[in-house]
Amino acid sequence: MFPYRRILELQGEEERSLRSIAAMTHHSRQKVTEVIRLAEKRGLKCPLDEEMTDPWIEDFLYPEKKLEASGRHVIDFDYLYAELAKPNVTLTLLHEEYKREAQAQGRIPYAYRTFTEHYHRFAQKYKATMRIRRKPGEALEVDWAGSTLFITDPDTGEKIKVYVFVATLPCSQLSYVEGSLSMDLAAWIKLHQRAFTYMGGVTQIIVPDNLKTGVTKHTFKELVLNQTYEDMARHYQSVIMPARVRAPKDKASVESSVNTVSTWIIASLRNSQCFTLEELNQEIHQKLEAFNHRPFTKKEGSRWSAFMEEEKFALSPLPAKPYQMAEWRTAKVQPDYHISVKSMFYSVPYDYIGKQVDVRASDTVVEVYFHHMRIASHPTLYGKYGQYSTLADHMPAHHKQYAEQTPAEALDWAAKIGEYTLRVVTYLLDSYTIEKQAMKSIFALKKLERNYSVQEIEQACHMACHVTNRPTVKSIQTLIRNNKRETKQKTLTQKNQEVDAKHGFTRGASYFGGKRK
């Protein structure tokens, strides 16, 4: 029998070269190197147990030798294990390819059942994970633990309940655990983000339970997700696929992890007294690291080593910017073409007055959508309630004209009209303490151009300035209407006189019965 154990024990001794090991065992240096490298690859290290005899080590290092003795086509287990990490690759597909390869070489293939049994034994013996139904980086199962923890209020001594979030990768069984004071949507989203950060990547699928925080409706025919939760998944280029109702096997890994976490983390912290959530989460993190690095009982490695070696590579990279929490709501566009969001007002194009719109409100931006098309975007307003964010492009033409008014523009306009109009505008700008009020009055004055000529406006301002040192727009409006009415009356009287002069005649006295003298 080849001295496998002797070679490994010699290699374990200090300063023992491959050349000397080959000389001492009377075998080639190439063969000695092959055995040592295979042992390192399989994780076989000294000291060796008594049961690890030469036949046991040979079976461990060369599992295919027994298959070769059967006369059937040899199975390349390392190839199968690597291929099963790829999307949509199954043992059924690999068995079909194996059969075609065997037939091409004129060898007898194993039947599918025997093929899978051999692979199961190989994976359980040599690999931390067994890739059959669980692909690396494919899914992340998330849930709230049934058990809770507590923190103590330092002032009152009251116990405050802390809910425990658990996220598990089914392939490597790596878990992430964190406590939260609430189970609302904001906490749910933030805990997902921290789980992604802890794992250093994102899975293709997120598998939650049918909790109301994330799933609005889930029936056989219809699935309606919370829009914010779906938006977060889209940001991380993942897909949410909730477990079927009353089908715990759809997320068996997290169900199992919840039970294990309840023992190794929650139960182990039952006597710990923490006064803040941050302090409790530090304790949870320490327990979590010990939990993820604890060796498996029936196979080599730990959750962490299995994740680093066999699953981390399959995770999608984190986006350049983390997801920014946003809340979705609906609003009706008011007649002033604004919507109300948390007692602040944001404009939308006036064409949407009376329409129902969707609003996505985050800490930095408020976005408005109509039929999934964004129609407006504003920076989020803070501070005193009732503030307005209005864009000129959203206004009707006449409103835009008013909004674009400035004192400099008003003075330029008045100077073009005339001296007295400029005097009135200057007075209005000086008399109001609030510029917006002055501009409102000047805008009303400018509107007179729609119905009156420049000369009529200047004349009314001239009259107002001679009557009082404090002219008002209202008095000018009254004067210009009166002037217009008087001018119209004079024009009508003049026309009547002209008609009479042109077409009238004088009858003689004889026509009325009189006599000439």
Who's near 284: CB < 8 A, 6+ residues apart? 149, 164, 177, 178, 179, 265, 269
Please answer whether residues 416 and 409 qualify as being in contact, where contact means their C-beta atoms are separated by less than 8 angstroms.
no
The model scores a pTM over 0.85:
no
Confidence band of 133 (pLDDT split at 50, 70, 90)? low
- Listing DSSP states for 155-217 in one string gives TT--EEEEEEEEEE-TTT--EEEEEES--SHHHHHHHHHHHHHHHTSB-SEEE----TTTEEE
Q: Tell me how far apart the alpha carbons of residues 186 and 103 are, in angstroms, rounded to a whole number.
A: 58
- Listing DSSP states for 38-61 in one string gives HHHHHT--SSPPTT--HHHHHHHH
Mean pLDDT, the chain, rounded, equals: 81
Q: Tell me how far apart the alpha carbons of residues 220 and 242 are, in angstroms, rounded to a whole number.
A: 12
pLDDT in tens, 292-301: 998 877 667 7
Confidence band of 129 (pLDDT split at 50, 70, 90)? low
Q: Tell me how far apart the alpha carbons of residues 392 and 115 are, in angstroms, rounded to a whole number.
A: 71
What DSSP state is assigned to residue 294? Answer: S
pLDDT in tens, 312-358: 888 999 998 888 888 888 999 998 899 999 889 999 999 999 999 99
Please answer whether residues 132 and 84 qualify as being in contact, where contact means their C-beta atoms are separated by less than 8 angstroms.
yes
Q: Tell me how far apart the alpha carbons of residues 239 and 242 are, in angstroms, rounded to a whole number.
A: 10
Higher pLDDT, 258 or 502: 258
Among the residue ranges 99-103, 346-350, 491-495, the one predicted with the least confidence is 491-495
Please answer whether residues 301 and 317 qualify as being in contact, where contact means their C-beta atoms are separated by less than 8 angstroms.
no
CB-count burial class (<10 Å; 0-12, 13-18, 19+) for 142: buried
